[in-house]
Amino acid sequence: MRILAVNGGSSSVKCRLDEIDRVPSEAAAPLWQAHVELHENLESVLRSVPGPVDAVVHRIVEGGKYRETTRITPEVHAAISAGAEVAPTHNQFELQSIDAAQRVFGASVPQVAAFDTCFHATLAPAAYVYPGPYEWLDLGIRRYGFHGLSHQYASRRAAELLGSESLRLIVCHLGNGASLCAIRDGKSVDTTMGFTPLEGLMMGTRSGSIDPAILIYLMRHRGDTADRLDRILNSESGLLGVSGVSGDMREILASTEPRAKLAFDMYAHRLCREVGAMAGVLGGADAIVFTGGVGENCPPLRRIVEQRFSFLNAKILIIHAEEEWEMIRECYLLLSDVFAGKASNGRKGF
């Protein structure tokens, strides 16, 4: 089966084409891949994919009621659209990518949604219910968690490397967006992102968790609107907001500006605070796993975490993020029965 993964992030889109005939485990070399900025024309990129495509799988950040990888139907498409209020940047792009894929490959090629929230479906109510009025839960206000595909892959790969599935893992997905996940025996038991991808760690341009009364104060004393606050929290905060230099950790480390140093120190402080929280949930940790662009490529940050949590005697692992591979694996598990027995000349091209 030839599966194309389309993974739209907050600033770029990664595409990957693989041909597989069994349940995949470790990532193999792709047939084709591309990494482009969001301002580039996605439809043109999709038209450059070589050869036939049997299925297209999309990473969908906000899954709402969907708790497993799902074929995209009109109903699922509508649910993804509804989720755009919670994850506007991601879900709107993902809707565009679904529509572009249908134009390029045709309606006969199945499209699949791999939801970033699915891995966190195992959270217990104590972890996902917010301590506001209980009626919030009826409105769908709860901790969903995100980066699930990355946490899922890192968890499975860590189990392979350590030779055991019975592990307490703290997975640190650190990129422009960032989240931690506490994983016990391969299942998510807590995570730092919540109702939206804004909660939790300090990020590239997102604030992460702050005192909610700050927003009330700004509305009352500065007249900030909901749209203005949304822009501040998601696009003008985090490393960028504190440093005034950049939301990119590489530029923060290279800068001599005092605020850049403060931004790094804050990032490390908040990361350690949340790692400690995840360790408390798990009752310790067998390994701390770093993945994502910052997690994989920022030794000074990893050293701080390793030093502060040396008392845990946890192994430190660096695992390359493979969200597109995890998407392809999920798609194959969903559709393999559909394609079983089909001749190769029965594939639908474009």
CA distance 180 to 281: 12
- 224: annotated active-site residue: no
* Active-site residue (options: 18, 54, 116, 190): 116
| Residue 337 structure tokens | 């029965």
Q: Give the count of alpha carbons within 13 A of 223, CB side only.
A: 0
Return the closest-CA partner of residue 322 out of 139, 151, 94, 79.
151
**DSSP-derived pairing of the beta strands 315-318 and 287-291:** parallel
Return the closest-CA partner of residue 179 out of 275, 98, 250, 262.
275
**Contact (CB, 8 A) for 94 and 80:** yes
CA distance 33 to 232: 34
* Active-site annotation, residues: 116
